[in-house]
């Protein structure tokens, strides 16, 4: 019975919960059994809060905490994972940092409060790189999280634990965050779906970078309808985040049900050679994106000029780190990993003129994106520069034979979209010759999450790759 339950989609599980065919406690026990079975191989959910979850389940079953039962995104007692960057009241929350190794917050992050208000039950905290900085999920508190398709490989970062938790069936939905690809690269590496929403769609709550659009919160799932459901749970105005706005009048789930195929799609594998992307990844994505033509879509190779956006992103990201980490560097420098120190010190050394240049580059690229969307409904790129790499490495040493000089150099496909504030969905598109997942990044105009989800759902229906989940962790070796 527990194996049957973990194989339900989130949408199916919520439907059965609403009908009273199963209870939240049934799902908690099924998830607990699955976690015990697969966690030793993947290390995705290092902190469990099963008793807290059971208490929440009993309250829901007693008719309590159901004020949002008739609202879009009602989860009806579905267990979810929360990234270890977000506080959960009474549950150890470390941010992946030894500085906060024993931190237990007394209140929850506003997004956690919203998810629980919508009937979600927090079952566990998912592993993350230290302070969410990194393309591979590891930290000194909990160690490394492994890719379930091949446990010798990374699951990506920084929502790596979340991606693994849904891929293996430990939970049905996972909350995460994204700055330079932290929902999209783990989604690609683990063959699940992850959405980076437009800034303001989902509350960021307590961050010091409240007025920066770079880092956002968002959902991960095994398929697009489940992703839309979880986005409905998250979306909406929050008084604690000045960028947020009201949820749409038509829910994302309802919009998905009535969506039409995109008419014209622009695709690029590497922005006209401006970016280094693994050759096999380019070939797979270029071939698989043509599957849209089966639905009558026009697919053409086209992309806006990238300009100097790679450098601009690093300038703006480094300033973001100054806001977040400058004071901690003054008091806990020896406990902060070198990548964060490097990013923060780079920001501290920047001039106002350099920051102004980066803002102008970002604005110019956004205008070129707007012009592209005048002629295309959707823009698609590979989901990552390269498939998953050695779990013991911070970033891939080579991409298509080119050596990388920093841990963000393999994220520009994602980072470029970050700077546009456009929503982007990572959706699986196949596997390379070594069996590593490959995916697409599907981008829509700003605040048009429903359009991105609809295109991703169409592609998912054509490929059927979501039917491969959940999977049992598979041991393997690192490919050449």
pLDDT tens, 402-445?
998 877 888 999 999 999 999 999 999 999 999 999 999 999 99
Q: Which tokens go with 418?
A: 């970050």
Instruction: Count the alpha carbons within 13 Å of 269 in the hemisphere toward its beta carbon.
Output: 19
pTM above 0.95, yes or no: yes
Across the chain, mean pLDDT equals 97
Report which of 364, 367, 370, 368 is spatially closest to residue 444, judged by C-alpha positions: 370
The domain locations on the chain are 2-468
- The pLDDT score that the predictor gives to residue 168 is 98
CA 14/CA 229 separation, integer angstroms: 10
Annotated catalytic residue 337: no
pLDDT at 93: 98
Task: Please give the pLDDT value at position 300.
Answer: 98
List the chain residues with pLDDT less than 50: none
- Dist. CA 69–CA 332, nearest whole Å: 45
Annotated catalytic residue 83: yes
Select which of 108, 126, 136, 182 is catalytic: 182
> Residues 18-63: pLDDT tens digits?
999 999 999 999 999 999 999 999 999 999 999 999 999 999 999 9
pLDDT at 175: 99
What sign has the CA pseudo-torsion 366, 367, 368, 369? positive
Neighbours of 19 (CB within 10 A): 9
pLDDT at 1: 67
CATH superfamily of 2-468: Amidase signature (AS) domain (3.90.1300.10)
Annotated catalytic residue, options 108, 136, 158, 198 = 158
Residue 97 designated active-site: no
Could you tell me the two tokens for 208?
């010091």
Q: What is the pLDDT of residue 2?
A: 77
Give CA–CA dist 281/388, Å, rounded.
11
């Amino acid at each position: 019975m527990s194996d049957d339950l973990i194989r339900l989609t989130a949408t199916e599980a919520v439907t059965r919960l609403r009908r009273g065919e199963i209870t939240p406690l049934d799902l908690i026990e099924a998830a607990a059994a699955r976690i015990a079975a697969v966690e030793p191989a993947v290390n995705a959910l290092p902190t469990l809060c099963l008793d807290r979850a059971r208490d929440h389940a009993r309250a829901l079953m007693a008719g309590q905490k159901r004020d949002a039962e008739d609202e879009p995104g009602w989860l009806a007692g579905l267990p979810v994972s929360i990234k270890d960057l977000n506080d959960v009241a009474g549950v150890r929350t470390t941010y992946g940092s030894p500085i906060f190794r024993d931190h237990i917050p007394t209140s929850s992050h506003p997004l956690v409060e919203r998810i629980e208000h919508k009937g979600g039950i927090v079952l566990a905290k998912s592993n993350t790189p230290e302070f969410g900085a990194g393309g591979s999920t590891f930290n000194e508190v909990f160690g490394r999280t492994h890719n379930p398709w091949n446990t010798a490989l990374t699951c990506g970062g920084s929502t790596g634990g979340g991606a693994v938790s849904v891929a293996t069936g430990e939970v049905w939905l996972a909350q995460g965050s994204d700055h330079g690809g932290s929902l999209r690269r783990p989604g690609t590496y683990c063959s699940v779906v992850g959405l980076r929403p437009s800034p303001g769609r989902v509350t960021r709550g307590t961050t010091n970078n409240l007025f920066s659009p770079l880092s956002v919160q968002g959902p991960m799932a095994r398929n697009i309808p489940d992703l839309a459901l979880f986005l409905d749970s998250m979306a909406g105005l929050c008084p604690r985040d000045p960028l947020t706005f009201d949820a749409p009048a038509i829910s994302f789930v309802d919009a998905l049900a009535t969506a039409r195929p995109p008419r014209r799609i622009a695709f690029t594998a590497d922005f006209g050679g401006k970016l280094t992307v693994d050759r096999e990844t380019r070939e797979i994505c270029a071939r698989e994106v043509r599957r849209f033509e089966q639905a009558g879509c026009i697919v053409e190779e086209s992309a806006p000029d990238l300009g100097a956006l790679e450098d601009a992103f690093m300038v703006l990201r480094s300033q973001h780190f100054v806001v977040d980490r400058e004071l901690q560097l003054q008091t806990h420098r020896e406990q902060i990993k070198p990548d964060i120190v490097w990013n923060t010190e780079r920001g501290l050394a920047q001039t106002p003129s350099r920051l102004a240049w980066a803002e102008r580059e970002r604005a110019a690229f956004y205008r070129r994106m707007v012009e592209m969307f005048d002629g295309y409904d959707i823009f698609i790129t590979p989901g990552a520069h390269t498939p998953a790499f050695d779990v013991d490495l911070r970033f891939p040493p080579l991409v298509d034979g080119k050596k990388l000089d920093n841990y963000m150099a393999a994220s520009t496909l994602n980072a470029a979209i970050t700077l546009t504030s456009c929503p982007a969905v990572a959706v699986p598109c196949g596997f390379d010759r070594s069996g590593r997942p490959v995916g697409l990044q599907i981008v829509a105009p700003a605040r048009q999450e429903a359009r991105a989800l609809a295109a991703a759902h169409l592609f998912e229906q054509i490929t059927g790759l979501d039917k491969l989940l959940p999977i049992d962790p598979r041991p393997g070796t690192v490919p050449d």
